[in-house]
Structure 1
Amino acid sequence: MLHDNVQTKLSKFMSKILRHSPEQFGLSLDPVDGSCKIADLLEVLGVQTKWSEIKVGDIEEVVARCEKQRFEINGDRIRARYGHSHDKVSYTMAVPPLVLYHGTNVQAAPLILKQGLRPMKRQYVHLSEGLHFATLAGKRRGELIILAIDTKKASQAGVVFYYAGNEVLLADAVPAEFCRVYEGEKEVRHND
């Protein structure tokens, strides 16, 4: 079993490889789902002095214990669930719950409420079925603000939602009129 700090460092390094720069490490990802063979990832890790002793079980442990559920193993393949900065990964279209959540900060919230949610440097806007993942994502950026997304109205207006796994849904963008500040059980609509 890996120590927590080693697990965190390995998780971050795996994110760098699988989400941001696989080509830098000579790793080829499937263009459709962004996956690679676990054996190929292990080979890439093995040539790094710091990670030369890593085994398949260590990778599986990182996947299982990652609070943000950044990775997914399917058979002998692994992929980052979301956040890719390489070729756009395809996801299955989904019918979302009536409300999805997005964590942000007090500086970004006013702009989002005017211009909507955009992916910025990511491929998609990340949304959560529950408050847990929205809080995890938003609190690392400063003082937390949770936005609630009216998915029924957004879907009727043509916004398509995709399922990325583990309570995370994605969208290409979400117009401002479907975003509201979430305050506990009470949602407050933004008025300009």
Structure 2
Amino acid sequence: MMSNATEVLLSKFMTKLLRHTPEQYGLILDPEDGSCTLDDLLSVLVKAPRWSGVTVGEIQHVVTSCEKQRFEIEGDRIKARYGHSHTKITYEPGTPPPTLYHGTHAGILSAILEEGLQSMGRQYVHLSEGTHFASLAGSRRGKLILLTVDTISAGQMGVSFYFAGNEVWLADSIPPSCLNVYNP
């Protein structure tokens, strides 16, 4: 069994492979959904000296134990759920709850409230059904600020929402008029 620290390192490397630079390692992802077979991922992982002994079972454990639920396994295929830097993954539009949350930091709050939420080099803006995942995402770069997103108003303004799984919703952008600072 892997230690927690080793699981975190493997999760980060899997993120790099499945979300950011698969081509750098010769991993070919399906252009429709960003997936590959578990065997293909394993064959790339074991080429890295640190991961030469990793097993499919350990990959599966990382997938199920990852707090942010970054990965998804369906049958013999694995993919990153969201955040891809390579070919844009498409999702079916859906109807989110009336309020979603976005975590950010105080340093950029004024720009967000003026310009709205933009994908900023990602494929989509990431939103959460609850404050937990939004807090995890927003606390990485400074003082955490949580925003609420009025999805009804945003939808009326033409914003499409896409469900990525595990309480995560995606959008191309969110107008500033649909945002408020969350004060529990």
The TM-score by the shorter chain falls in which range?
over 0.9
Whole-Å Cα distance in 2 between the matches of residues 130 and 108 of structure 1?
21
Runs of 4+ with >3 A deviation: none
- The Cα offsets for residues 23-58 of structure 1, whole Å up to 9 and x where unpaired, read as 001011011110000000000001111101000000
Matched, 1:94 2:94: yes
One-letter amino acid of the structure 1 residue matched with residue 162 of structure 2: Y
One-letter amino acid of the structure 1 residue matched with residue 82 of structure 2: Y
1:20-169 alignment runs, 5 A limit: 20-169=20-169
1:189 corresponds in structure 2 to none
Q: Per-residue deviation at 1:141?
A: 1.4
Whole-Å Cα distance in 2 between the matches of residues 70 and 132 of structure 1?
14
Aligned residue for 1:183, secondary structure, equals coil
One-letter amino acid of the structure 1 residue matched with residue 41 of structure 2: L
Q: Per-residue deviation at 1:104?
A: 0.3
Give the CA RMSD over aligned residues: 0.5
1:190 corresponds in structure 2 to none
| TM-score where L is the length of structure 1 | 0.95
Quote the sequence identity (%): 58
One-letter amino acid of the structure 2 residue matched with residue 79 of structure 1: K
Instruction: Count the aligned residue pairs.
Output: 184
- Structure 1 unaligned residues grouped into runs of 5+: 185-192
One-letter amino acid of the structure 1 residue matched with residue 155 of structure 2: S
Aligned residue for 1:103, secondary structure, equals strand
Whole-Å Cα distance in 2 between the matches of residues 103 and 129 of structure 1?
12
